[in-house]
Structure 1
Amino acid sequence: MVKIGIVGTGYVADLYMQSFAVLPAVAIVGATDAEPDRRARFARHWNVAALDDVDALIAAVGAGGLVLNLTNPSAHYEISLRCLEAGVHVYSEKPLALELVEAQHLCDVAREKGLLIASAPCSVLGESAQLMAAAVRAAVPGRIRLVYAELDDDYVSQAPYDRWSSRSGIPWPSRDEFEVGCTIEHAGYYLTWLIAMFGSVESLVAVSACLAPDQMAVDRPAPDFSVATLFFESGVVARLTCSILAPHNHGLVVIGDKGVLEVDDCWDNAGPVRFRRRFPFRRKLVTSPISQRLRFPAPTHPKPPRFGAASMNFGLGPLDLAEAIAGNHAPRLTAEFALHVTEVTLVIHAAGNSSGIRKMETRCSPVAPMPWATHLRRRPRWPVGRRPEADVA
């Protein structure tokens, strides 16, 4: 079994531990944090060893072990590089780094040392994302032409976020959220899905802006809105919107020749994925108001209980990496995949109002489906007059 340690015991670390609780194959050997009180609280709550510093953690996981870098985004590069240079594999919270050259350097070091590095988010390995991808592969909606993806989280700066805390009592990291920005924090949730389904982004046009800097109690507020049009090498075009101002909307609509695929929330691994067929009716073109729900024929993956806005298994990514290390094979979430997602994210974040079209420097290989996601359940025959929410093949 691969030994796993955690650097950074802040808010998100609790979400990982909650996920590991339903993954018995994962064992955490210890955790460390720059703040001793936070480290001690986390260790007591989750009954793990509290280690004094990063060096002690690296020693605990040993050569070939895996470190989860759950530190603040500004520390991702430094901590990940330190771990790689010490001979341990790394799974980093998003993004890999705040500069593309640093993210590329991490991938180069990992390759030179024969190590693996990957990055969150891992919801792309979850049931809803895998359902959507399986439907695209099976051409359920026909050839895909256009995608609309929304990641709007309402007017967060006016929310009572000072009352939000994790299971171990860690406050929600408002400073990071407002200084890093909603694009870096959230765009990856759908970028990973889209890149896994449609391949590399060839170019994009984006704008970003900080529209309510007076509402954020930080010195350097980041853009709280961005919108990008992504041109994929496969020919698909997608629009991705991120904001912490507009009313909550995490919807994804994938538009094909035969109809549309829909999901309401990428933060819910078990969120329903539905297909609506398009057909002519008299003198009109109609998208069916009756949806057909997609399902897999067998169980998928363990799902931890919902906490706050998220109902995701944060452990799927680290488990994917750990299994690749133990089995000496390539993970689904590769370094090149993380690097490409990072580049696209950073370009959108920094777009401003005059960047124009940007060509992407990086590319990545397709993401292999999960073993339980190779095909969909066959569609049953429904009695006449019964309103179906059927399964699609």
Structure 2
Amino acid sequence: MKNKVKVGVIGCGTISGIYFKAGQTFDILDIAACADLDVSRAKAKAAEFNIPKACSPEELLADPEIEIVINLTIPKAHAEVCLAALEAGKHVYVEKPLAVSREDGKKIIKLAKERGLLIGGAPDTFLGGGIQTCRKLIDDGWIGEPVAATAFMMNHGHERWHPDPDFYYKVGGGPMFDMGPYYLTALINLIGPIRRVTGSARITFPERTITSQPKFGQKIQVETPTHIAGIFDFAIGAIGTIITSFDVWGSQVPRIEVYGSQGTLIVPDPNTFGGPVFIRRQGSTEWSEVPLTHGFTENSRGLGVADMAHAMISGRPHRANGDLTYHVLDVMHAFLDSSRSGNHVLVESSCEKPAPFPLDLPGHALDN
């Protein structure tokens, strides 16, 4: 039985609740502290989820018992908090995106390697039963060689429901940097790294009106593209198509489909951990639903942290790792670079496909 790894959470906003709830189900993790610039908010989360310590970010980073910091701050603070945590000798798992700029992303990766520390990053939904089932189907040759893939994330933004939606429309936000990581990470896990990108992007509505509480009626000045369409080439030669949009009132396009030389695979929503998964193979006239081969089908945010904790102890690579999260950041910037320049953009970074989960993981054990 392994000792628990002590974890501290910085950033006690909307997304933190599921990390506290789901994270407490992993045997390897001990969520020992939470922090926020607004300490009263940290205290409220500590009371709600029975976290022993609520404090300021500085106090959490100074705590010698904390081994992993989960960084749930807003995107523009990701780099600052990651770098501070690494300087304090902590391993770091950060919400998406890794950073706002490539430069900051590189600084994080470089410092982690210099200090011998691990960097991990969201999303970890690709480790769930739905996409792990798809990974096994592709690896086992059920659809043959991947030829192409499509990915669509289309809605009308977050100002209708989110209590503090401003940052979604600032640099580091928008549909590509907010939701693109789910889709791109899933596809890289399924097919591999991306080598070339072409994109077009626009701001359709320069001003947004908040209709959620408590900021109802306030205006947001939009500073980042809200409709991005892209074509990209995987390193293995398959061609991808992606649209991410906060400018669309409704859509019936699929989330993700992967087209192979011998069949087509319908991949579940990459913002979830479960299914369903459908396949139609060469010669068939019907779609077949595939039973999920892997566990973690409920909302399991924190799964990537748990996998990283096991990697810390065993020395094996972790799956939602820094190279993957930086590659996704690099690709997202490449779509915007291409739109500005009117040219293809060769992607400088690359990464390994994360190792798939084995079929026989018992419960919430992630030793392998």
| AA aligned opposite 1:300 | G
1:204 to 188, 192, 197: 197
Structure-1 separation of matches of 2:221 and 2:12: 24
| AA aligned opposite 1:47 | N
User: Which residue does the alignment assign to 1:2?
Assistant: 5
Q: CA deviation at 1:24?
A: 4.1
1:112 to 114, 124, 132: 114
Equivalenced residues, count = 345
Q: TM-score, normalised by structure 1?
A: 0.82
Structure-1 separation of matches of 2:290 and 2:107: 41
User: Which residue does the alignment assign to 2:216?
Assistant: none
User: Which residue does the alignment assign to 2:295?
Assistant: 300
| AA aligned opposite 1:155 | H
Is 1:366 the counterpart of 2:349 in the alignment? no
**Structure 1 runs not aligned, ≥5 long:** 165-170, 280-286, 304-311, 375-393
1:22 to 15, 22, 25: 25
Structure-2 separation of matches of 1:328 and 1:347: 33
**Structure 1 residues 214, 50: CA separation in 2 closer, same or farther (over 3 Å shift)?**
same
Structure-2 separation of matches of 1:269 and 1:61: 33
Give SS of 1:218's match: strand
Q: CA deviation at 1:266?
A: 1.7
Between structure 1 and structure 2, the one with the greater Rg is 1
**Structure 1 residues 49, 82: CA separation in 2 closer, same or farther (over 3 Å shift)?**
same
**Structure 1 residues 29, 223: CA separation in 2 closer, same or farther (over 3 Å shift)?**
same
Structure-1 separation of matches of 2:123 and 2:360: 19
Structure-1 separation of matches of 2:220 and 2:322: 32
| AA aligned opposite 1:130 | Q
Give SS of 1:106's match: helix
Structure-2 separation of matches of 1:132 and 1:75: 34
User: Which residue does the alignment assign to 1:262?
Assistant: 266
User: Which residue does the alignment assign to 1:176?
Assistant: 167
Q: CA deviation at 1:50?
A: 4.2
Q: CA deviation at 1:214?
A: 2.6
Q: CA deviation at 1:54?
A: 2.1
Query: Any conservation in 1 of the 2:131–2:267 contact (CA below 8 Å)?
Result: no
Is 1:341 the counterpart of 2:337 in the alignment? no
Deviates more, 1:178-187 or 1:322-331: 322-331
User: Which residue does the alignment assign to 1:388?
Assistant: none
Structure-2 separation of matches of 1:182 and 1:14: 22
Query: Any conservation in 2 of the 1:276–1:292 contact (CA below 8 Å)?
Result: yes
User: Which residue does the alignment assign to 1:85?
Assistant: 87
* Residues 176-233 of structure 1, C-alpha deviations (whole Å, 9 max, x = no match): 1222211100111011111122222111101111111233532343211111111011
Structure-2 separation of matches of 1:155 and 1:245: 5
Give SS of 1:4's match: strand
| AA aligned opposite 1:57 | L
Q: CA deviation at 1:373?
A: 7.6
Q: CA deviation at 1:349?
A: 4.2
**Structure 2 runs not aligned, ≥5 long:** 210-218, 362-368
Query: Any conservation in 2 of the 1:5–1:61 contact (CA below 8 Å)?
Result: no
User: Which residue does the alignment assign to 1:132?
Assistant: 134
Structure-2 separation of matches of 1:156 and 1:107: 31
User: Which residue does the alignment assign to 2:207?
Assistant: 214
Give SS of 1:27's match: strand
Q: CA deviation at 1:99?
A: 0.8
User: Which residue does the alignment assign to 2:76?
Assistant: 74
Q: Give the superposed CA RMSD.
A: 2.0
Structure-2 separation of matches of 1:359 and 1:14: 38
Give SS of 1:160's match: coil
